[in-house]
Amino acid sequence: MHEIPAPALRVRDLRKTYDNGVQALKGVSLDVAPGDFHALLGPNGAGKSTLIGIVSSLVNKSGGTVEVFGVDIDADRSAAMRLIGLVPQEFNFNMFEKPLDICVNYAGFYGVPRAQALVRAEQVLKDAQLWDKADKMSRTLSGGMKRRLMIARAMMTQPKLLILDEPTAGVDIEIRRGMWKTLKEINAAGVTIILTTHYLEEAESLCRNLAIIDHGTIVESGPMKSLLAKLDVEGFLFDVEGALPAALPAIEGATLVAADAHTLELDMPREMDLNRVFAALDAAGIRVRSMRTKSNRLEELFVRMTAREGAAA
């Protein structure tokens, strides 16, 4: 009989009340499986940073328990922290140090011998495509390079759990997609990743499971595919040739409106055949040049869940 492995992260009834009376967390419980790529989403002030802060021992909790691969952070904080790599949102390294020194010194804080740290630093900097910058002043790096340096530094302790707080904030889409590739490779190597991000398409592209937190509570959690399947409406935008007619065709079960003089906006049930829509548009003399989804599906789920919680609060 095979033993069931401990979750990479197990949070039970986690609570945090600040001195001013604000309840940042109100009994949060969450499991993240080993090897998972897990999204933690929520609006500003929802409790994401507090949760991450408690897990990484930067914030004291008011109640509840946290275990990292079966290690209780209260019973053996040092052992638990050795299992975690944290990439915060803000740059928090010395801009006048070289990437090689930043990585080696970080490993030294965790007791990694310098000779071993130098070998690791070369590997993580190569993985981050920064080895050619290893001896340059970090302040000379681009924003995307600095983000990758943060990830490389966190990997110096060979963590089993990597926590990333808005790792692609402020970088352009090309750099962001390059970082996605890096994170996918890290995850494929067996590292469990927890990601917070405001780029919902990023979470949908990378993560297999997600939890949505709002007002200090988890309002939805589970497999990404299952949660997205709950959405019963799809939205599209059609770019049309020429001007739209005065009267748009009526399509039973769907809503069709003009977004502007040359764009149509469609909401339709997921099970509806899109060919019905094209047939109705064609019969009305409307020629479609191109179409695109109106919104990210995860964004729609996120808005629904947080709006529901806000209404109940």
- C-alpha 221/C-alpha 217 separation (Å) is 11
**What is this structure's pTM?**
0.77
Range list for CATH 3.30.70.1560 in the chain: 230-312
Task: Read off the pLDDT of each residue in 236-251 and give the average, rounded to a whole number.
Answer: 89
Task: Read off the pLDDT of each residue in 129-151 and give the average, rounded to a whole number.
Answer: 94
- C-alpha 101/C-alpha 270 separation (Å) is 53
Task: Read off the pLDDT of each residue in 113-131 and give the average, rounded to a whole number.
Answer: 95
Work out the pLDDT band at 280, boundaries 50, 70, 90: very high
Work out the pLDDT band at 168, boundaries 50, 70, 90: confident
Q: Please name which of 120, 121, 116 lies closest in space to residue 98, comparing C-alpha atoms.
A: 121
Range list for CATH 3.40.50.300 in the chain: 9-222
What pLDDT is attached to residue 55? 96
Q: Say which CATH topology domain 9-222 has.
A: Rossmann fold (3.40.50)
Least confident of 66-80, 139-153, 173-187: 173-187
Say which DSSP state 14 is in.
E
Whether the Cβ atoms of residue 153 and residue 110 lie closer than 8 Å to each other: no
Burial pattern 60-89, b for ≥16 Cβ within 10 A else e, equals ebeebebbbbebebeeeeeebbbbbbbbbb
Q: What is the mean pLDDT of the chain?
A: 89
Least confident of 24-33, 240-249, 291-300: 291-300
Task: Tally Cβ neighbours within 10 Å of residue 184.
Answer: 14
Whether the Cβ atoms of residue 152 and residue 128 lie closer than 8 Å to each other: yes
Percent of the chain with pLDDT strictly greater than 70: 91
What pLDDT is attached to residue 154? 96
Architecture of domain 230-312: 2-Layer Sandwich (3.30)
Whether the Cβ atoms of residue 265 and residue 237 lie closer than 8 Å to each other: yes
